[in-house]
């Protein structure tokens, strides 16, 4: 099967040439690269994808046993939460193996130090690096992971910290007519930025819907703020500007699945072709934006939305489009040494990796295995769906309580 084959190839490239690094980089080759995490990110972020594909993940276990927040380095709280903590918790949910739980507790115990009402963006020596504002994506993308950590440990500290932060953000969104801007001060009051579902805001809106679902669809206020924000995005006709924005049609489809209004699905169907337009390139690979950036970063958002639209509407064309994208990835981004590279859109050339945080061209980012390939695999794993699990912003999976929410399917 194409998805499993791609996962095997990605894992082989990483384990043969970059095991223990955050990700595989290609030039110079063979080499591993750090995204500034120093946490073997690909090994941990990719664990649950390997598990879903029934593949051997034993190579990753020494890194799971060792993983920790290194207090002598600056830690990006958002990335460590969504990639590392989320990855460990999802692996634990799938296996119930204590090795993942112990590691999640170790990492969670450091990350929880980021909270003082809202969490800060960067931890250093166990303390926040002080800043006057924080993005709502950073501040509001932890409630799923911290709640799950509390569920499996019985220690409510994590959940309470995240719930308190999230409640402050929800209140602020409400006070601002459901049009909260991208950055808030440490009391969750608007600081600067635009009202958008793009980078720096994105997963806050995502976690609003998903935390409502994860909590058994109980908190009416959270659902109302989410619905209100969607109406505002529609009224202002806010359209996707970059690949990052393209998780949004999928989120709207998920909302519709969980009994959201029909216009959420209609909006999703209107936005999806605009996202597919990012793939109208020489190679059929996804552009970051309107081709200002010459490289694909192998991002997941379009694959994610195609999967969700396929699941919700049952229309084969979304699956066909996903297969087409995967074919282009295999044709142009697959490397003979193993793994996949963020290549030039024009001709599939794998550039020299520039190094540093978020420099994904010339490398295989950890989210490629954790998300892009997982969403492609999900087309053929009927036991793992948005009805059985909540998928975090990094596509990590926590089981839902059966029958707690009503849905359209």
Q: What residues line the site for ligand DMJ (CB under 6 A)?
A: 203, 244, 299-300, 367, 393-394
Contact 191, 129 (CB under 8 A): no
CA 61 to chain centre: 22
Which residue is nearest to ligand DMJ, using beta carbons?
393
* 263-269 own/partner pairs: CB under 8 Å, 24+ apart: 263/234, 264/230, 265/312, 265/313, 267/230, 267/233, 267/234, 268/305, 268/309, 269/309
Judged by beta carbon, residue 52 or residue 244, the one nearer ligand DMJ is 244
CB of 246 vs ligand DMJ, minimal distance in Å? 9
* Rg of the chain in Å (alpha carbons): 20
d(CA 388, CA 383): 7
CB of 370 vs ligand DMJ, minimal distance in Å? 8
Judged by beta carbon, residue 255 or residue 305, the one nearer ligand DMJ is 305
Judged by beta carbon, residue 244 or residue 406, the one nearer ligand DMJ is 244
Residue 164: which residues within 8 A CB-CB, separation 6 or more?
A: 115, 117
**Of 158, 170, 164, residue with least CA distance to 209:** 170
CB of 364 vs ligand DMJ, minimal distance in Å? 13
Judged by beta carbon, residue 340 or residue 367, the one nearer ligand DMJ is 367
Contact 397, 384 (CB under 8 A): yes
CB of 262 vs ligand DMJ, minimal distance in Å? 27
Upper half-sphere CA count for residue 353 (Cβ side, 13 Å) = 26
Residue-wise DSSP of 267-330: HHHHHHHHHHGGG-SSSSPPPSSSSSS-B----SHHHHHHHHHHHHH--HHHHHHHHHHHHHHH
The full length of the chain comes to: 409
CB of 58 vs ligand DMJ, minimal distance in Å? 25
Q: In angstroms, what CA-CA distances link 286 with 141, 212, 356? A: 25, 31, 22
CB of 220 vs ligand DMJ, minimal distance in Å? 26
Contact 36, 46 (CB under 8 A): no
Judged by beta carbon, residue 231 or residue 274, the one nearer ligand DMJ is 274
Judged by beta carbon, residue 6 or residue 303, the one nearer ligand DMJ is 303
CB of 325 vs ligand DMJ, minimal distance in Å? 14
CB of 175 vs ligand DMJ, minimal distance in Å? 25
Contact 278, 292 (CB under 8 A): no
Judged by beta carbon, residue 26 or residue 247, the one nearer ligand DMJ is 247
CB of 193 vs ligand DMJ, minimal distance in Å? 16
Instruction: Using DSSP, state whether 24 is helix, strand or coil.
Output: strand
Judged by beta carbon, residue 190 or residue 250, the one nearer ligand DMJ is 250
Judged by beta carbon, residue 63 or residue 78, the one nearer ligand DMJ is 78
CB of 271 vs ligand DMJ, minimal distance in Å? 17
Q: Which residues pair with 76 in a beta bridge?
A: 122
d(CA 90, CA 145): 9
Structure tokens of 400?
A: 């839902």
Judged by beta carbon, residue 22 or residue 314, the one nearer ligand DMJ is 22
d(CA 269, CA 380): 22
Judged by beta carbon, residue 110 or residue 301, the one nearer ligand DMJ is 301
CB of 367 vs ligand DMJ, minimal distance in Å? 4
């Amino acid at each position: 099967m194409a998805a499993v084959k791609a996962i095997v190839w990605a894992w082989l490239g990483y384990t043969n040439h970059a095991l223990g690094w955050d990700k595989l980089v290609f030039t110079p080759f063979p080499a591993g690269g750090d995204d500034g995490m120093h946490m073997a990110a690909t090994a941990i972020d990719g664990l649950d994808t390997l598990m879903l594909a029934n593949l051997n993940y034993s190579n990753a276990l020494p890194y799971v046993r060792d993983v920790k927040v290194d207090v002598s380095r600056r830690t990006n709280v958002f990335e460590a939460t969504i990639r590392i903590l989320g990855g460990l918790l999802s692996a634990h949910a799938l296996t119930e193996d204590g090795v993942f739980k112990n590691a999640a507790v170790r990492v969670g115990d450091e990350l929880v130090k980021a909270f003082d009402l809202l969490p800060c963006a960067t931890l250093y020596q166990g303390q926040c690096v002080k800043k006057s504002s924080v993005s709502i994506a950073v501040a509001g993308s932890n409630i799923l992971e911290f709640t799950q950590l509390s569920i499996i440990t019985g220690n409510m500290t994590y959940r309470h910290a995240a719930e308190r932060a999230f409640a402050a953000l929800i209140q602020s969104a409400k006070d601002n007519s459901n049009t909260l801007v991208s950055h808030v001060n440490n009391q969750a009051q608007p600081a600067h930025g635009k009202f958008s579902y793009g980078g720096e805001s994105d997963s806050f809106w995502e976690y609003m819907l998903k935390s409502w679902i994860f909590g058994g669809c109980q908190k009416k206020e959270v659902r109302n703020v989410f619905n209100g924000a969607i109406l505002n995005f529609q009224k202002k006709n806010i359209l996707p500007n970059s690949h990052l924005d393209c998780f949004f049609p999928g989120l709207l489809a998920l909302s519709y699945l969980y009994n959201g209004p029909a216009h959420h699905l209609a909006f999703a169907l209107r936005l999806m072709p605009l996202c597919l337009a990012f793939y109208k390139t020489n190679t059929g690979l996804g552009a970051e934006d309107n081709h200002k950036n010459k490289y694909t970063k192998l991002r997941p958002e379009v694959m994610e939305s195609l999967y969700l639209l396929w699941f919700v509407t049952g229309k084969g064309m979304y699956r066909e489009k996903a297969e087409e994208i995967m074919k282009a990835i295999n044709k142009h981004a697959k490397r003979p040494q193993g793994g996949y590279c963020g290549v030039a859109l024009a001709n599939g050339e794998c550039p020299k990796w520039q190094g540093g945080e978020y420099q994904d061209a010339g490398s295989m980012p950890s989210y490629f295995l954790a998300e892009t390939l997982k969403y492609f695999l999900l087309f053929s794993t009927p036991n793992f769906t948005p009805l059985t699990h909540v998928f975090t912003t990094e596509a990590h999976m926590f089981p839902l309580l059966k029958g707690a929410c009503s849905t359209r399917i």
